[in-house]
Chains A and B, each alone.
Chain A
């Protein structure tokens, strides 16, 4: 569990960083908070020749809130999200969910970009990005591109990013003040990765749910949307009957794996339970 040897650079610009990543033998890797990747290296699951630290690159941090939505720089830390009172106002789902990420020390270092690039299906941010239909700005040797969150995650700890591509920011579309939302997850101890989790939002017009988006954590290789559960609610009042239907749909449409922490059967049921609780809190939360 000792780190393998590697070179280290901390360039001052994005262009330089991309050039460094593109120049090497293909094993160079960006490093942000290091909270996921350093353990990976300590277990000798990755032995990059070069780490390109993104800390000195100016355009990567900061949270911008506008009519167009919320833009979060890749190097924004969990701590920054939790401390930002404007964000809590503009998009309350985000801090409510991020509050479940890891522990104090890790939240002071772990970053949004690192989490997206690490693509852990048990992490909160990938599912939030998918659920809220966020766009991800990326820069690489071939230039800039914008990826829909749905196109970023290709497998467990796998993304569609090229080795020389760097995530610059994640952009969440405008969030109506009246949007209803819920977030529930369950982990064995506070701060552990969730055994399962659910993030959701919907608009409410004339007592009926519209634009229902439900995402799930930790029940597949990637973050997923629960389309059947969404369909069970779309256009209906969120009440006991529709909640029950959505819960059953959610449990029915996931096919999670079992591991040393929880059986598949349990996870399947748990996602329904959590969806029910998230919907109850969404419906019960005072509309603003």
Chain B
């Protein structure tokens, strides 16, 4: 029987409560709004109420005369060309579409910054917004991709087109494949514009120290090092003169922590006036300013053999990316093209993915970017094809799912290349997760309910599959330090965006050092901790940061071995190290804490450009009220294989949270614009995110049957998979429920109004 609480290598894989929660539950979290500086000014932004127009004048004189107002910055205050925000994944044609940090000649979306007011309090700054007179000659607004692609009205006249890039996803000989097919299905689908909606809106506090020439930016998230370098370049400073400080972050989901126009303006103001400048985005401006995503449509075909074998996929995807190409604005476009095939074996693919600029808020990434959209498209087609071919919906999928024998499996090549033209699923057997999902969801029993009207509601079920693709490179770094008190401090380049990073990294460090978790202190996300780091995006922190921790632990134990050997006067290789103690052959030993005075310090890193592919299947059982169009999610099961489970509790938190976020995407969240390009969604009464009690039944099953070969942990990125299949699976379940009406949902969201109209239209047709 074990007599001590901790045995080596027992943290990884365990169900461990998040260490950061103690801080949050006690109200001791430190978010940006908890931080203030003496003499700070508060920023508020004048934003365009016109979606498309030429700026005639911006007159701030009335605002400047208002109490407590110190300054108003407009484009006129910026010498030379207006700086533009960066691209994270550049390609040859997007240059002209970068967003200037402030509008000078033209406005291109409702909400575009025109001026920044600096005042003593946020209230006075907001009061003064009304004192900035803006005169704009309105131009016709382009709000949908059809009018964008007509190229009659141009957002950027000098380029001659509203399509900054068209990506091709290619594989095999698609014409031959279609020529050989027995059956082809073609259809059009669309997903609606959304945003990631982190609970904490953006916020920044910029401080300029004229004496030392240093800029400090608090409120960093996601990509502190990239943003630091960007800011340094824009401010004409060396990288080392800029610090990005990460505080607690109330969610990111791909949107928060990218470089936005306000980031530059707040820092610019701080340097220009020598006062700390603080800005907290309010919810209304959040909805019009932070990156949007997901406004996508398609016209695609799948080609099959009679027996349901997929032979080809071709067609076009259209992504409405809004007014500018933002730092990661192209990611959803190229992702939709590359990942639409999902876990299905499709030997021949040709997809054209058009990025279209329109007079809407510029887009970026949102959890599962491009993948959620593509999965909705292909899963809808798979169910419709099964119906047409008379093949069971499970069988048609089983026939085409990738197997262990086919790994690594290459996906379509996407050009123009943004550095990731080629990629391959790394490991796994999709039949295993699929069959597990079928079993866990009790499909055989539920299948009897399909289309039945029970207690006034039509019952429907569906199952769909997904791949996640994440944990991308290039590198992550950590530094590890044995402190005087015997604790190990771990400084990580990864950033925390609510995913439980401190817990995960401490688990990995504790196991690899054979120490109790309580002896590990994790610091992360600020540029002051490390010379270089990357951050948290694309579900990468556990894999990349965690693998860097393994490297550092190994090096720290080597140093410990050397120190202990010296003390004991023996050769290092004669020592055995276990559970924080170095033991000599003669029985003498040195505990780690004893060498603390030696200041053992190491750098660890992990480099890898091969993404991991978590994958799985999800089942939805819905009940549709034909009178109200309400869809109740009666049961939802998601099964994924993540290579290696580090912490089942945080993993399930990610999967469940993502699934529920996906229900918001399917049913209720939508950023609606009117024909003039004005955003009609101004608060959380308009933007309907799921509430805690809305979706009580979500079941997660996680597997680790096929470790990833790409990293020493064998882990895969697992933060996004949960959201990817939701659109396709739920829409298919609704179609299944309403089979008597022949309803085929093609456009999301499935709001009650839309579902009811689909039913009513079918009734009227009949």
Contact = CB atoms under 8 A, between A and B. Distances in A.
A287 interface: no
A286 interface: no
Given A261-B751, A266-B756, A192 B284 contact: no
B131 interface: no
A277 interface: yes
Nearest to B456: A277
Interface in A249-280: 260-263, 265-266, 269-270, 273, 276-277
Contacts of B685: 192-193
Contacts of B753: 195, 261-263, 266
Interface stretch (A73-81, A183-191, A203-211): A183-191
Contacts of B672: 260
Contact of B694 (A5, A190, A262, A273): A190
A4 interface: yes
Interface in A106-154: none
A2 B123 contact: yes
A1 B282 contact: yes
Nearest to A4: B127
Interface residues of B, number: 32
Interface string B685-715: 1101011011000000000000000000000
B691 A188 contact: no
Contacts of A277: 627
A266 B752 contact: yes
A43 B123 CA distance: 12
B284 A266 contact: no
A68 interface: no
Nearest to A266: B753
A5 B682 CA distance: 22
A156 interface: no
Contacts of A191: 691
Contacts of A12: none
A273 B756 CA distance: 12
A270 B628 contact: yes
Contacts of B403: none
A281 B311 CA distance: 55
A1 B284 contact: yes
B282 A260 contact: no
A3 interface: yes
Interface in A38-54: 39, 43-44
Given A1-B283, A190-B693, A262 B628 contact: no
Contact of B757 (A192, A195, A265, A276): A265
A192 B122 contact: no
Contact of A262 (B670, B681, B693, B752): B752
Contact of B752 (A2, A186, A190, A193): A186
Interface string A215-246: 00000000000000000000000000000000
B629 interface: yes
A245 to B, nearest CB: 17
B589 to A, nearest CB: 58
A188 B628 contact: no
A233 B131 CA distance: 58
B694 A186 contact: no
B670 A260 contact: yes
Interface in B627-647: 627-630
Nearest to A189: B691
Contacts of B691: 189-191
Given A262-B752, A277-B627, A3 B284 contact: no
Contact of A189 (B282, B284, B668): B668
Nearest to B755: A266
Contacts of A4: 123, 127
A203 to B, nearest CB: 27
Contacts of B760: 265, 269
Interface string A1-32: 11111000000000000000000000000000
B757 A263 contact: yes
Contact of B668 (A2, A188, A193): A188
B126 interface: yes
B680 interface: yes
B24 to A, nearest CB: 20
Given A2-B126, A4-B127, A186 B693 contact: no
Given A266-B756, A273-B628, A2 B122 contact: yes
A5 B123 CA distance: 8
A193 B685 CA distance: 9
B628 A260 contact: no
Contacts of B283: 1
B49 to A, nearest CB: 13
Contacts of B122: 2
Contacts of A3: 123
A39 B628 CA distance: 29
Contacts of B693: 190
Contacts of A266: 629, 752-753, 756-757
A86 to B, nearest CB: 29
A4 B751 CA distance: 36
A267 B253 CA distance: 34
B284 A43 contact: yes
B751 A186 contact: no
Contact of A260 (B126, B284, B686): B686
Contacts of A43: 284, 682-683
Contacts of B123: 2-5
Contacts of B751: 188, 261-262
Nearest to A263: B753
A260 B680 contact: yes
15 contacts: A1-B126, A1-B284, A4-B123, A44-B126, A44-B130, A188-B752, A192-B685, A192-B688, A260-B670, A261-B753, A262-B752, A265-B757, A266-B753, A266-B756, A270-B628
Interface of A: 1-5, 39, 43-44, 186, 188-193, 195, 260-263, 265-266, 269-270, 273, 276-277
Going nearest first, the 10 A-B pairs with the smallest beta carbon separation are: A1-B282, A273-B627, A262-B753, A266-B753, A2-B123, A260-B672, A2-B126, A186-B628, A263-B753, A260-B680
Given A1-B284, A43-B683, A186-B752, 20 more contacts: A1-B126, A1-B283, A2-B126, A2-B282, A4-B123, A5-B123, A43-B284, A44-B130, A188-B668, A188-B688, A188-B752, A189-B688, A190-B691, A192-B688, A260-B686, A262-B751, A265-B760, A266-B753, A276-B627, A277-B627
Interface of B: 122-123, 126-127, 130, 282-284, 627-630, 668, 670, 672, 680-683, 685-686, 688, 690-691, 693-694, 751-753, 756-757, 760
